[in-house]
């Protein structure tokens, strides 16, 4: 079955992102890298596996539905599942402390989330990756991290469990509490936090309403 034009373009972009990560995993970061090479073979291998996975998804009907319903995996540490293979390169990049790789991973994460191409289990895994990336002292990485955090909260696969929600808020509060934070990051973090709280409070209201705990009460008009 041939993918629809929109889906085909998304999968092609996704494959290109993973290929770029694979290439960047063999490069060095910054001027110091000219004298000290940093190869990341584990990231390169994970990205290449993700490329193969994306190609396989494109040949199947209901590709996005498969991704959205995918578990992280059944093996130790969630290994082996579709979502695990797609998110493994992102997790490794965010843990690498490399600004270049982390930025690539966060851009890819935002693409996945903006297209609702992740499951709830995958969204929870991304929370941990965002936490790792937010600790990298790089303005560009921090801004991308905040963008991905907001995209995660607004996606259909947003983590509704306490651990996931706490992790997302922790990223925002953690950046705001950091000394020497760039003004651009501080402003974006504050704005992201405000929007995140609106999304979260609305989700709480919906959850309470569905459980019948708000029966008989009128919603306060904003």
- Give the C-alpha separation, 217 to 98, whole Å: 51
Pick from 47-51, 120-124, 216-220 the range whose average pLDDT is largest.
Answer: 47-51
What's the pLDDT at 73? 54
pLDDT-derived band at 169, boundaries 50, 70, 90:
confident
| SS3 state of residue 54 | helix
Whether the per-residue pLDDT at 89 is higher than 90: the answer is yes
Residue labelled with tokens 């990223």: 171
pLDDT-derived band at 209, boundaries 50, 70, 90:
confident
Residue 62's nearest CA partner among 118, 14, 4 is 4
What's the pLDDT at 142? 96
| SS3 state of residue 214 | coil
Tokens representing residue 150 in the block: 């907001």
**Lowest-pLDDT range of 20-34, 62-76, 156-170, 201-215:** 62-76
Share of the chain above pLDDT 70, in %: 78
How many CB atoms sit inside 10 A of residue 59's CB? 11
The string of DSSP codes covering 97-131 is T-HHHHHHHHHHHHHHHHTT-S-HHHHHHHHHHHH
What's the pLDDT at 76? 43
CATH 1.25.10 fits domain 5-210: yes
- Give the C-alpha separation, 197 to 199, whole Å: 5
pTM score of the predicted model: 0.81
Q: Where are the domains of the chain?
A: 5-210
Local structure of residue 32 (DSSP, 8 states): G
**Average pLDDT of span 176-204:** 87
**Lowest-pLDDT range of 62-66, 90-94, 138-142:** 62-66
Whether the per-residue pLDDT at 1 is higher than 90: the answer is no
| SS3 state of residue 72 | coil
State the average pLDDT for the chain: 81
pLDDT-derived band at 214, boundaries 50, 70, 90:
low
């Amino acid at each position: 079955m041939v993918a629809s034009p929109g889906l085909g373009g998304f999968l092609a972009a996704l494959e290109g992102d993973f290929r770029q990560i694979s290439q960047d995993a063999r490069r060095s970061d910054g001027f110091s890298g000219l004298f000290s090479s940093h190869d990341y073979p584990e990231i390169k291998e994970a990205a290449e596996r993700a490329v193969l996975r994306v190609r396989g998804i494109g040949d199947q009907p209901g590709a996005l539905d498969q991704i959205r319903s995918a578990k992280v995996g059944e093996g130790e540490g969630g290994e082996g599942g579709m979502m695990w293979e797609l998110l493994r390169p992102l997790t490794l990049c965010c843990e690498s402390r490399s600004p270049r790789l982390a930025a690539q991973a966060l851009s890819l994460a935002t693409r996945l989330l903006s297209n609702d191409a992740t499951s709830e289990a995958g969204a929870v895994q991304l929370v941990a990756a965002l936490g790792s990336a937010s600790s990298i002292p790089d303005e560009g990485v921090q801004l991308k991290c905040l963008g991905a955090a907001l995209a995660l909260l607004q996606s259909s696969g947003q983590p509704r469990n306490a651990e996931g929600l706490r992790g997302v808020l922790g990223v925002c509060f953690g950046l705001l509490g950091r000394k020497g934070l760039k003004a651009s990051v501080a402003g974006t973090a504050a704005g992201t936090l405000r929007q995140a709280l609106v999304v979260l409070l609305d989700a709480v209201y919906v959850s309470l309403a569905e459980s019948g705990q708000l029966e008989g009460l009128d919603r306060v008009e904003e």
